[in-house]
Structure 1
Amino acid sequence: MTDASNSGSISRYTAKPLTATASRFALVAIFSGALFVLILISLHLLQPEFDPTWRFISEYALGDYGWMMHMAFGLLAIAQISVAITIFPHIRTVSGYIGLVILGISAIGVLIAGIFVTDPISVGPDDATFSGSMHSIGAMLDYTPVAALLISLSLCRMDAWKPMKRVLLTSAVIAIVAMLVFVLQIPQNGQFGPEVLAGLFGRILILADIAWLIIVGIHAAKLGATK
């Protein structure tokens, strides 16, 4: 009876009003995520030599507009951190806190990936440079889809977030599926080519992550505006 009672009380949690600072971070998340997408689209146009079906977005850092890719990674990390700060007062479950930790680690990974330039896709794991290895380590720390699912499950138990339950969970599940499909595209021998669609599914994955971050940011901004 005690567990059932506790479960019921959790589902009826009333979210604390967002502070002015939290509302600003929500807007920062929206702006950073949207600007990331804009930069990524621009890089596809500016550097068409990187086939988007099998070349990773990280390789844009190798071209003449590499600074734009570095900026994009920074914006993604800012969006992740901003969302974490914004929703922290609304997290009430252990899984939600775990999700926040994973999101924070993901942001650190994205920053590392943004600082260190990747090796060309033709370079195998045995010939990787220090910068390329560090970039790969940073990329492997990014588990935003997992964080998105755990955080969404936690937020959906709050009255203020229940209207967003379907959208939050759907976007989080899409990100999880995109991550799994992307991982399945990675060849065991580390040799990539046009027949490996890792670039395409990698782009779908990153856009799914951004979509979730922006969705959370928009709803949080609305909550701040209506307090």
Structure 2
Amino acid sequence: MIKPVLNTKPISASAARLSISTGVIFVIILGSLHLLEPEFDPTWRFISEYALGNFGWLMHLAFGLLAVSLISAGIVIHSQARNIAGYIGLVILGISAIGTMIAAIFVTDPLSVSQDDATFSGKMHSIGATLDYTPVAALLISFALARNEAWRTIRVRLFVTAGITFIIMVLFILQIPHDGQFGPGVLAGLYGRILIVSYLGWVCIVGTHALKLRRQNSMG
């Protein structure tokens, strides 16, 4: 059995706080959009479509905040997950953040628009969305952090939160209709919302423990 290592490299407290705060604000904005734009059925309409409503700027802001949250989490983790799984996870997390930022910049097309009639903005948004594999990154990074003695005390919470996001991602993919026909009864929108909100659990676990380690190092 490989002995866990203790990584005492500095942790960015600012990045940890930013990751948590932007993640929380993202969820708050997303929740508010359900009230501000009730015309979008949350069971089968994607959250991206909120950008098509009267408060579309809030959806752009929310995606931007989520991207910042993921990038900040990566900054916190990069000095702590020093093995192959961690490096791969950080690359995937970075790609996911870039994809989310692309989704923030470009407006999606309505679900009623076919792929043949998709606009440039809609195509770019779709590309950005398909780059988001945060659950895979979270799982790989959790395995990497579990080998760091300083993170072993929360390894169960890391694996539980990362595992939940991964399972929900699989369930979300299974909800996508093969014929591309979305409508009432297709729960892709609901699973998509649960999936993206679940990111916050893992981000908060990472951020809060990083702040704890930072305080311990400062006291030491």
Is residue 8 of structure 2 the alignment partner of residue 16 of structure 1?
Answer: yes
Alpha-carbon distance in 2 for matches of 1:85, 1:53: 34
Alpha-carbon distance in 1 for matches of 2:47, 2:16: 26
Query: Paired residue for 2:99?
Result: 109
Query: Paired residue for 1:174?
Result: 164
Is residue 120 of structure 2 the alignment partner of residue 130 of structure 1?
Answer: yes
Give 1:124 shift. 1.9
Give the one of 16, 20, 24 matched to 1:30: 20
With the length of structure 1 as denominator, give the TM-score of the two structures. 0.93
Give 1:53 shift. 0.6
Paired amino acid for 1:16: T
Alpha-carbon distance in 1 for matches of 2:98, 2:27: 20
Give the one of 217, 220, 224 matched to 2:207: 217
Is residue 78 of structure 2 the alignment partner of residue 85 of structure 1?
Answer: no
Paired amino acid for 2:92: I
Give 1:14 shift. 0.8
Is residue 183 of structure 2 the alignment partner of residue 193 of structure 1?
Answer: yes
Give 1:219 shift. 1.0
Query: Paired residue for 2:173?
Result: 183
Alpha-carbon distance in 2 for matches of 1:81, 1:47: 29
Give 1:56 shift. 0.5
With the length of structure 2 as denominator, give the TM-score of the two structures. 0.96
Q: Is the contact between residue 124 and residue 191 of structure 1 (CA under 8 Å) also seen in structure 2?
A: no
Identity %: 59
Paired amino acid for 1:121: L
Which residues of structure 2 form unaligned runs of 5+? none
1:170-211 Cα offsets, whole Å, 9 max, x none, are 111110111011011111121100111000000111011122
Query: Paired residue for 1:160?
Result: 150
Give 1:49 shift. 0.7
Query: Paired residue for 2:54?
Result: 64
Give 1:17 shift. 4.3
Paired amino acid for 2:65: L
1:1-20 Cα offsets, whole Å, 9 max, x none, are xxx5xx22xx1x1122434x
Query: Paired residue for 2:65?
Result: 75
Give 1:122 shift. 1.2
Paired amino acid for 1:172: A
Give 1:218 shift. 1.2
Alpha-carbon distance in 2 for matches of 1:41, 1:73: 13
Paired amino acid for 1:31: S
Q: Which secondary structure state, in structure 2, belongs to the residue aligned with residue 14 of structure 1?
A: coil
